[in-house]
Copies of this chain bind each other. A is one copy, B any other.
Amino acid sequence: MKALIISYNNFEDSELLYPLYRLIEEGFSVDIASLKRDKIKGKHGYVIEANLSVEEVRPEVYDLLILPGGKAPEALRKNEGVLKIVQTFYESGKIIGAICHGPQILISAGILKGKRATSYKSVAKEILEASAIYEDKAVVIDGNIITSRSPLDLPYFMKTILELWKATPK
């Protein structure tokens, strides 16, 4: 049981910490990847060690991927390596959870076309422009893509991700 979180400086702290701790609680080993191996700092000042650079990520070893929000996705969506990882998770049918501004990375990875999704409200327009269907709900599931709107949705976001993961044939 191995999970990957991809984030960067100015992440929304609770959107990284809640999934991180929740996955550890469930028995996952969790890697945190960023543009380089380094400490990354959240908007609220929490500092997290990214133990992998994006180049070092081997998507095949993970069960699921989490993309927290904040300002981090704005930087991450410009990185080809990040988009390639997301596409690989998507194509292999593995669970991808993106919250708040996290869905911006899904848009840039080109995997939202025709899909139902949610996000932080300011990202809704971009979701529509990506030919996806925006739904204003705590959690939206479409295939292996799970999206949520904001920190207040975290309990429902992680509950859904873990339920789907448990229901996935291993």
Contacts and interface: CB of A to CB of B under 8 A. Distances in A.
Contact of A44 (B44, B155, B159): B44
Interface residues of A, number: 17
Contact of A46 (B44, B155, B156): B44
Contact of A25 (B13, B14, B159): B159
Contacts of A159: 25
Oligomer copy total: 2
A70 to B, nearest CB: 13
A61 B101 CA distance: 38
A133 interface: no
Contacts of A17: 14, 17-18, 151
Contacts of A100: none
A24 interface: yes
10 contacts: A14-B14, A14-B17, A14-B46, A17-B17, A18-B21, A21-B154, A25-B154, A25-B158, A25-B159, A44-B46
Interface of A: 13-14, 17-18, 21-22, 24-25, 44-46, 151, 154-156, 158-159
